[in-house]
Amino acid sequence: MVADGGAPVTQELRDCAFTAQGQVAAKSSGGGRYSRGLGLFVATVAAEAAGARVLATEENGHNAFVLFVPLD
């Protein structure tokens, strides 16, 4: 798990936070932080290529990103 000290990604936006289109839309509307925000998208693509998943959740009022790797 990796924690982010920023404001949590809202439940409604968690799915689109992992897509390139969702990140670009958030950045162009002023709803995003940091550079282009494609890190979550790239992490998702890399995880999926390895047969894993990246999920966003909230822990202690902050973002938490979890990498799930199947053990089979």
pLDDT tens readout for residues 1-32 = 788 777 777 777 777 778 888 777 766 655 45
Question: Residue 71 and residue 15: Cα distance in Å, rounded?
Answer: 24
- At 28 the pLDDT is 61
- At 33 the pLDDT is 53
- At 10 the pLDDT is 74
- At 35 the pLDDT is 52
Question: Residue 28 and residue 19: Cα distance in Å, rounded?
Answer: 14
Give the pairing of strands 53-59 and 62-68.
Answer: antiparallel
**Model confidence pTM above 0.85:** no
